[in-house]
Amino acid sequence: QQQVKQSPQSLIVQKGGISIINCAYENTAFDYFPWYQQFPGKGPALLIAIRPDVSEKKEGRFTISFNKSAKQFSLHIMDSQPGDSATYFCAARAGTGRRALTFGSGTRLQVQP
């Protein structure tokens, strides 16, 4: 049972376009929603994160939109660049005890020049 559902599985975007990746969750106890970026041969690295008390967070070209009532959140990459080509994982965490991140299945983004 996958608690965080991520789509699409893969995405091809032209340079300068907008990349959008969506995630949905069921567990209302989740209170922290990070996005991780993973390049081939590397470990995931935190890209941006949001808490459910805000509906949007922006850092440079990356924006998280959060819809608490729909239990959905999404990553928007503006002005996508070839260097953004990577696998993106959404994740969620409930509380601070175990600190386990529940990950989505990942989206492989390819930005074509």
Q: What's the min distance (Å) between Cβ of 104 and other proteins?
A: 5
Q: Is 94 in the site for other proteins (CB under 8 A)?
A: no
Q: What is the DSSP letter of 101?
A: P
Q: Which of 13, 35, 104, 109 binds other proteins (CB under 8 A)?
A: 104
* Nearer residue to other proteins within complex by CB, 85 or 104: 104
Task: Return d(Cα 47, Cα 16) in angstroms, integer.
Answer: 19
Contact 50, 66 (CB under 8 A): yes
Q: Is 49 in the site for other proteins (CB under 8 A)?
A: yes
